[in-house]
Copies of this chain bind each other. A is one copy, B any other.
Amino acid sequence: MISKKMEKLVENNSVIREMFEEGKKLAKIYGHENVFDFSLGNPSVKTPAKVNDAIKEILEKEDSLKVHGYMSNSGFEDVRGVVASSINKRFGTNFSEKNIIMTVGAASALNIIFKSILNPDDEVIVFAPYFMEYDNYISGYDGKVVVISPNTDTFQPNLKEFEERLSFKTKAVLINTPNNPTGIVYKEDVLKKMSEILMKKQSEFGHEIFLVSDEPYRELVYEEKELPYLTKFYDNTFIVYSYSKTLSLPGERIGYVVIPNEMEDSENIITAVTIANRIIGCVNAPSLIQRTIMKCIDEKVDVSIYKNNRDLLYNQLVNLGFECVKPEGAFYLFVKTPVDDKEFCAKAKEFNLLFVPGSSFGCSGYIRIAYCVSEDMIRRSFESFEKLAQSYSMK
């Protein structure tokens, strides 16, 4: 009796659940401390203390009916104003509160964008490897996913194939940088080139192509330099942001969409996205956490902890003979497997190592290692990595 669209998802669910159960099962047999679960992208660095302090302060000083109450579907005006100012200060942009729509995390931000712009059979281009949940966000509004094959030398987007596959049906291009699953940061010149291609194709096809930039990992970069803000390169850009990783608040579901005035038909699109936020049932981003964000606008988690994890694990893997493009952000390593990636994951389990196969990100022959875990666990896992490498005679 479930809907046809959901049937396949329900069937596949048992596979995912099995993977989770596997971890629990291994922990039961070998002890929690002897199982090395690198499969989950859950922030492991502490939420900044200021976040909880801000919540307490709001509860003490502000009117409860306001703090927990309805506001505009796009969010509290003062919160959006502070978000806009903060972006302007960092990137020299010129947004006001009307360009910001607070959302129930990045996932619902993507949903309300696609609900607002997609007609049946419109195409959305994504670059492999990519977070395959995007498929559900796009097909939920009857869009078709077009996957550009990976550029495995650098994991930068493959612009040659991109240009070829942009078509009259392309309504949007969805990118994610720093990237899940590779940890790669898309280079500024690559993004500029991508924008130029989009501008050219827009005039060729005579209609807008939207760029949707999903940036939950923006603050998780290991160089001091700010990543470029894409609305400056290309007018028809939606920026999707989340505080899940920035502040280690994934359960709170708080993020936003930026819609610049320069976007074609921006007034109507802002209205459409705001209405979509309401009618998909989010109504508005959670209110107390919205007000908390306003007070913690310049906070972020201690990124050096993730950087340390990356260095530790990357060096160990390279020493063992594994191939991996060194990532500059997020908290993932995307490592080449000497055999089929699913087979490799099965073998790794024998050493209590849990990974996600690259084929789950549209790029087989690799695994994703999520190093948002304790340094201690990484160090304890080294012996297992060694045994795994030995079993393929890698060194």
Tell me the bound Cα distance from A228 to B157 in angstroms: 58
Cβ of B253 and Cβ of A282 under 8 Å apart?
yes
Known: A104-B104, A281-B108, A283-B105. A2 touches B269 (CB 8 A): yes
Cβ of B65 and Cβ of A253 under 8 Å apart?
no
Tell me the bound Cα distance from A115 to B139 in angstroms: 12
Please give, as numbers and ranges, the residues of chain B lying within 8 Å of A271 by CB-CB distance. 10, 13
Q: Which of A38-84 contact B (CB under 8 A)?
A: 42-44, 46-47, 51-52, 55-56, 59, 64-65, 67-71
Cβ of B70 and Cβ of A47 under 8 Å apart?
no
Cβ of B52 and Cβ of A6 under 8 Å apart?
no
Cβ of B272 and Cβ of A2 under 8 Å apart?
yes
Cβ of A275 and Cβ of B9 under 8 Å apart?
yes
Known: A1-B207, A268-B10. A280 touches B279 (CB 8 A): no
Tell me the bound Cα distance from A210 to B287 in angstroms: 32
Counting CB contacts under 8 A, is A118 at the interface?
yes
Which residue of the partner chain B has the closest CB to A286? B286
Interface residues on chain A, size class: 35 or more
Counting CB contacts under 8 A, is A208 at the interface?
yes
Known: A70-B42, A280-B280. A118 touches B3 (CB 8 A): yes
Counting CB contacts under 8 A, is A284 at the interface?
yes
Counting CB contacts under 8 A, is A99 at the interface?
no
Please give, as numbers and ranges, the residues of chain B lying within 8 Å of A212 by CB-CB distance. none
Tell me the bound Cα distance from A144 to B59 in angstroms: 43
User: Chain A interface secondary structure, helix, strand, loop or mixed?
Assistant: helix
Please give, as numbers and ranges, the residues of chain B lying within 8 Å of A286 by CB-CB distance. 251-253, 286, 289
Which residue of the partner chain B has the closest CB to A12? B275
Cβ of B280 and Cβ of A281 under 8 Å apart?
yes
Cβ of B284 and Cβ of A251 under 8 Å apart?
yes
Counting CB contacts under 8 A, is A136 at the interface?
yes
Counting CB contacts under 8 A, is A179 at the interface?
no
Cβ of B112 and Cβ of A275 under 8 Å apart?
no
Which residue of the partner chain B has the closest CB to A55? B59
Tell me the bound Cα distance from A378 to B136 in angstroms: 48
Please give, as numbers and ranges, the residues of chain B lying within 8 Å of A283 by CB-CB distance. 104-105, 107-108, 250, 253
Counting CB contacts under 8 A, is A96 at the interface?
no
Q: Which of A1-54 contact B (CB under 8 A)?
A: 1-6, 9-10, 13, 42-44, 46-47, 51-52
Counting CB contacts under 8 A, is A298 at the interface?
no
Among A42, A112, A264, A288: residue with most chain B CB under 10 A: A288
Binary interface profile of A, 179-205, with partner B (CB < 8 Å = 1, else 0)?
000000000000000000000000000
Q: Using CB atoms and an 8 Å cutoff, list the residues of chain A in contact with chain B.
A: 1-6, 9-10, 13, 42-44, 46-47, 51-52, 55-56, 59, 64-65, 67-71, 104-105, 107-112, 115-119, 133, 136-137, 140-141, 207-208, 210, 247-253, 264-265, 268-269, 271-272, 275-276, 278-290
**24 A-B interface contacts by CB (under 8 A):** A5-B115, A5-B119, A9-B272, A10-B275, A13-B271, A42-B70, A43-B65, A43-B69, A52-B59, A68-B251, A70-B251, A104-B104, A105-B281, A111-B280, A112-B281, A133-B279, A140-B280, A250-B283, A252-B286, A253-B283, A253-B284, A253-B285, A253-B286, A288-B288
